[in-house]
């Protein structure tokens, strides 16, 4: 869309008509079109790295290393995988049939849904916009991407380069905030993938219900870590920090939100976290270039409210200094937070880490299972029984044992939530599947036409 023109109901209808016409030509279904578009998308990541890094820095002061690895590299990897595997993914899957239908053959044919909408979030604005687009194109759909207005530099970069590199009759970007998204949600889509908070997730689901549109909701939640005492403490501390502060300064959907550990072990864990934080970010973390800022003043004020809650006064055992001008908060650890404190009752999504202590580690399972299902859950232990109990008893979008966040980078694993943390998933082949309808196709010949299936339904036929 032209950035200066208002996106209203009429523009949406014109756009939808064009996308439907494009889809009905059948061109997006061809292998050649899909590969060409995937290659063009890859070029955006390959040819415009400095501008992408710049946009991410402007939107959230994301450290260059994180922008490169967590956004550009992941998009390149995802795109290259789709290019390499597309032929295999598109191939109909032959399946067996039954004696009743003999002779027959059957296959599952993946067909595109048609015209799909992708609504993306601000925290990984390049990755979370383009990764679903890769799946949608690989599956042969026409696509509209609505990036987040909270990351405006990346939004306009995506609008510019998708306009330049992609087939504009089939792949479009609509920039904007609530009014534009609301207009988009009034249209009839064949599939919607939304990434963001669960309040808006409900709005998306309600809008989609009017048209019976299937929806993927990539939401968030409070992702816990259970920490046992039988671990390599230094490595565990480094990995916890990497998933928390090393992922957009905690502004990541699968960033650890709170730790559960025993009262006895908590002081050792806190000491180790403090030591490693000092090594990573120095004496003055507010000045570190390796920590993103808080995205905007709304989120900054929200986080300060969590820190200043009366129920956690005296519980801050590390950090928490603020720089209101630059929207920075130093990595903060809060020990022994009560379950009814504010920080334990909303997703933190920032540089604060809460620690809940228990007498026995087994109590962790009740704490986690009494809360909404998280997007990720982590466990640090060497205890085999504890690992088995964790895998068997904890329901979350994904589980990772002895590390944090890395499961997101493995394309053979589906990425998505469950319950309050979302529905559906994507990544790797799961992205292709998410944007494909799996059509059941059966073939019969005129041989073996058993008379048992036809009237008159005699007693003899009933016993067949
Ligand atoms: P956001 O503010 O960027 O909003 C997400 C999208 O929703 C944007 O495109 C925005 O324009 C749109 N939107 C906002 N209000 C709307 C409304 N009233 N009607 C229609 N559309 C509206 O992002 P956010 O929600 O602050 O993102 C943070 C949340 O997203 C956290 O809960 C986080 O855990 C979750 N998240 C999940 C994933 C995942 O992959 N599961 C990834 C990133 C973030």
* 270-321 per-position pLDDT tens digit: 999 999 999 999 999 999 999 999 999 999 999 999 999 999 989 999 999 9
Strand-pair category, 142-146 with 215-218? unpaired
HSE (side-chain half, CA atoms, 13 Å) at 197? 9
Q: Note whether 229 and 266 are within 8 A (CB).
A: no
Has 218 been annotated as catalytic? yes
pLDDT tens, residue by residue, 242-273: 999 999 999 999 999 999 999 999 999 999 99
Q: How many angstroms separate the alpha carbon of residue 119 from the centre of ligand 1?
A: 8
Condensed to tens digits (0 to 9), the pLDDT of residues 353-411 reads 999 999 999 999 999 999 999 999 999 999 999 999 999 999 999 999 999 999 999 99
Predicted confidence (pLDDT) per residue in 16-27, tens digit: 999 999 999 999
Candidate list 66, 175, 180, 253, residue with the active-site label: 253
Strand duo 93-95 + 104-112: pairing: antiparallel
Is the pLDDT at 8 greater than 60? The verdict is: yes
Ligand 1 mean position, distance from CA 423 (Å)? 15
Question: Which of 197, 300, 345, 425 should be mutated for ligand 1, with most atoms under 8 A from CB?
Answer: 197
What is the per-residue burial (b if ≥16 Cβ within 10 Å, else e) of 105-138? ebeeebebbbbbbbbbbbbbbbbbbbbbbbbbbb
- Rounded to an integer, the average pLDDT of 187-192 is 98
At 2 the pLDDT is 47
CA 241 to chain centre: 20
Structure tokens at 290: 């390796």
How far is ligand 1, taken at its centre, from the CA of residue 200, in Å?
7
pLDDT score at 464? 60
1 pLDDT above the threshold of 70: no
Strand bridging mode 376-380 / 316-318? unpaired
Is any ligand 1 atom within 6 A of the Cβ of residue 337?
A: no
CA distances from 457 to 155, 448, 451, 462 (A): 65, 19, 10, 7
Q: Does any ligand 1 atom lie closer than 6 A to the CB of residue 121?
A: yes
Residue 213 has pLDDT above 60, yes or no: yes
Ligand 1 mutation target, pool 158, 178, 196, most atoms within 8 A of CB: 196
Is residue 128 lining ligand 1, measured as CB closer than 6 Å?
yes
pLDDT averaged over every residue in the chain: 97
Q: Is this complex's ipTM strictly greater than 0.90?
A: yes
Active site residue 253: yes
Q: Are 375 and 417 in contact (CB under 8 A)?
A: yes
- Of 71, 180, 218, 347, which one is the catalytic site residue? 218
Tokens of 123: 């925290």
Phi, psi of 400 (to 5 degrees): -140, 130
Write down the pLDDT at residue 460.
Answer: 86
DSSP state of 100: T
């Amino acid at each position: 869309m032209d950035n200066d023109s208002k996106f209203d109901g009429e523009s949406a209808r014109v756009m939808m008509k064009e996308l439907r016409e494009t889809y009905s030509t059948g061109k997006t279904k061809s292998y050649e079109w899909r590969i060409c578009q995937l290659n063009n998308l890859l070029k955006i990541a390959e040819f415009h790295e400095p501008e992408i890094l710049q946009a991410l820095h402007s939107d959230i002061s994301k450290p260059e290393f994180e922008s490169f690895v967590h956004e550009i590299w992941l998009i390149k990897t995802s795109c290259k995988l789709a290019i390499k595997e597309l032929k295999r993914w598109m191939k109909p899957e032959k399946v067996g049939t039954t004696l009743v239908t003999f002779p027959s053959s059957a296959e599952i044919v993946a067909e595109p849904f048609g015209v799909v909408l992708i609504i993306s979030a601000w925290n990984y604005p390049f990755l979370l916009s383009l990764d679903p687009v890769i799946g949608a194109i690989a599956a042969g759909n026409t696509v509209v991407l609505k990036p987040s207005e909270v990351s405006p530099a990346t939004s306009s970069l995506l609008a510019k380069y998708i306009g330049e590199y992609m087939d504009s009759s089939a792949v479009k970007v609509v920039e904007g905030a609530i009014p534009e998204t609301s207009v988009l949600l009034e249209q009839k889509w064949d599939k919607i993938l939304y990434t963001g908070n669960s309040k808006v997730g409900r709005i998306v689901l309600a809008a989609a219900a009017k048209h019976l549109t299937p929806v993927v909701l990539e939401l968030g939640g409070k992702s816990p870590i259970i920490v046992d005492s039988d671990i390599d403490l230094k490595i565990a501390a480094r990995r916890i920090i990497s998933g928390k502060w090393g992922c957009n300064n905690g502004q990541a959907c699968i960033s650890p939100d709170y730790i559960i550990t025993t009262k006895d072990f908590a002081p050792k864990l806190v000491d180790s976290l403090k030591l490693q934080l000092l090594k990573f970010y120095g004496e003055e973390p507010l000045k570190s270039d390796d920590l993103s800022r808080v995205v905007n003043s709304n989120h900054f004020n929200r986080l300060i409210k969590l820190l200043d809650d009366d129920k956690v006064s005296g519980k801050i055992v590390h950090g928490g200094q603020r720089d209101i001008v630059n929207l920075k908060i130093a990595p903060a650890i809060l020990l022994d937070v009560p379950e009814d404190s504010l920080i334990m009752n909303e997703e933190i999504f920032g540089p604060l880490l809460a620690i809940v202590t228990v007498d026995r580690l087994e109590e962790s399972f009740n704490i986690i299972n009494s809360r909404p299902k998280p997007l990720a859950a982590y466990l640090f232990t060497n205890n085999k029984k504890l690992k088995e109990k964790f895998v068997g008893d904890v329901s979350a979008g994904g589980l990772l044992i002895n590390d944090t966040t890395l499961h997101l980078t493995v394309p053979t694993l589906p990425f998505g939530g469950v319950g309050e943390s979302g529905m559906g998933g994507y990544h790797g082949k799961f992205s292709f599947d998410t944007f494909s309808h799996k059509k059941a196709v059966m073939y019969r010949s005129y041989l073996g036409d058993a008379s048992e299936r036809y009237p008159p339904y005699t007693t003899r036929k009933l016993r067949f």
